[in-house]
Structure 1
Amino acid sequence: MSLPPTRWELAGEGNRGYGEHFAERVARGDDVDGEARLADALVPRGARILDVGSGMGRVAAALAARGHDVVATEPDPELRAQSQATYAGLEVLPHEALALDPEQVGGFDLVVVVGNVFIYLGEGTERAVLARLRDLLAPGGRVLAGFHLSAVKTGSRTYPPDEFVADVAAAGLRVVHRFGSYELHEPNDEYAVWVLARD
């Protein structure tokens, strides 16, 4: 199946600072586990978790360290290489969301899609991606998503909350919670953290 290019791919060299930024933060010993702490709180110990667009691996590695069965997937070869160099024990599949087959890798208690993945998806693929994430869930499973609501990153899109909620509903999911941060601040106009479940 031929997939449309993602906005991340189209941005090319314009997005290379992402991996460098987080490598520097990890090297300094900064706290970069906010997403992982919330994901960990949403599931029991030993949960099966999928990290879509795992980037340089920091969230997936933190969840694995907390005792979860984690599958990471990152289509960008440079970020996969950085992930292997930073977290040697973390296996990362080279797939984007629409290339994941629910019959082969499904049954997740939680699917994590953070780090602005949603505003870098291929144009017009948002509902298809949400439907695929739905199909990857185990019964009772949920999706944790987080992204900037406006196009503040190179090559990204603006994704207003009402449009995202409409896409969620069209994909057979529903919004369980919306927050303004991974520390559960109230919703704001800059960043949104969503917990989704099957409708």
Structure 2
Amino acid sequence: MTDPKPLASAAGYAEAAAALVEQYESVSFAEVHREVLHLIPRRPAVIVDIGAGSGRDAAALAALGHVVVAVEPTPELRSRGRILHADREIEWIDDALPGLPALRAGGRRFDLVLLTAVWMHLDALQRASAMESVAGLLAPGGHLVLTLRHGPVPAGRRMFDVSADETAELARGHGLDVVHRSERADLHGRDGVGWSRLGLRRQGPGVGHD
């Protein structure tokens, strides 16, 4: 008997798109990112949200006057996000980690990269490759804000137990400094679920945050 085929990193998201969009939109950008709001540029900036889901965060950032790219590999989430936030100027891209070939093809650089509840879907080799990809997207002085989910893995999903320590060490190897680290309980109150949050910065002058 052969081993079952490993789950893909985005496994389970298409099937649960409707419920997930409702879940994502039930909490605000400010609630989700309250510990790292000081890392969000105050002046107009160029931002990419990788694994944008329903577009909740992308829409909030666009409303603040930023130029926003939303990267989402799951068609069912991407199409719902386009409709739900059609009133916001958001560029939607079909692309995925670890390589992000479509996003990187243009050679663009971003003042802020968001990776919310994405990183733990990648295995160790993918994380090493993805960090190189993401670090290469950052403009000098740009920030990467990354969250890690800890706890039970939902049925039909693929997640790994990824520590903040490991992630910070990997980031340092690609020229990123840790400027924020925090832990918090789950906003939805799920048993055993917790979150780590990292703020990482590429050296150099960046867009103002004052």
Q: Same fold (TM over 0.5)?
A: yes
Deviations 1:87-145 (A, max 9, x none): 1243310011422454615221100111x100112552112111111111111001001
Separation (CA, whole Å) in 2 of partners of 1:31 and 1:12: 21
Alpha-carbon contact 2:121-2:160 (below 8 Å) kept: yes
Are residues 25 and 135 of structure 1, via their aligned partners in 2, closer, same or farther at CA, if it must alter by over 3 Å? Answer: closer
Separation (CA, whole Å) in 2 of partners of 1:18 and 1:53: 13
Are residues 59 and 6 of structure 1, via their aligned partners in 2, closer, same or farther at CA, if it must alter by over 3 Å? Answer: farther
TM superposition score normalised by structure 1: 0.78
The answer as to 2:153 corresponding to 1:155 is: no
Kindly provide the amino acid, as one letter, of the partner of residue 198 in structure 1. Answer: R
Alpha-carbon contact 1:178-1:194 (below 8 Å) kept: yes
Kindly provide the amino acid, as one letter, of the partner of residue 141 in structure 2. Answer: G
| Partner SS for 1:82 | helix
Alpha-carbon contact 2:21-2:77 (below 8 Å) kept: no
Which structure dedicates a bigger proportion of its chain to helix? Answer: 1
Deviations 1:62-98 (A, max 9, x none): 1101111111111111111111121124331001142
1:37 CA drift (Å) = 5.7
Separation (CA, whole Å) in 2 of partners of 1:49 and 1:99: 15
Which has more radius of gyration?
A: 2
1:12 CA drift (Å) = 3.6
TM superposition score normalised by structure 2: 0.74
Residue equivalent to 1:169: 172
Are residues 39 and 161 of structure 1, via their aligned partners in 2, closer, same or farther at CA, if it must alter by over 3 Å? Answer: closer
Gaps of 5+ in 2: 1-5, 186-192, 204-210
Residue equivalent to 2:79: 81
Bigger shift: 122-131 or 95-104? 95-104
Question: Identity across aligned pairs (percent)?
Answer: 30
Aligned length: 183
Separation (CA, whole Å) in 2 of partners of 1:125 and 1:25: 25
Residue equivalent to 1:72: 70
Separation (CA, whole Å) in 1 of partners of 2:112 and 2:7: 23
| Partner SS for 2:136 | helix
Residue equivalent to 2:189: none
Alpha-carbon contact 2:148-2:196 (below 8 Å) kept: yes
| Partner SS for 2:139 | strand
Are residues 76 and 25 of structure 1, via their aligned partners in 2, closer, same or farther at CA, if it must alter by over 3 Å? Answer: closer
Cα RMSD (Å) of the superposition?
Answer: 2.8
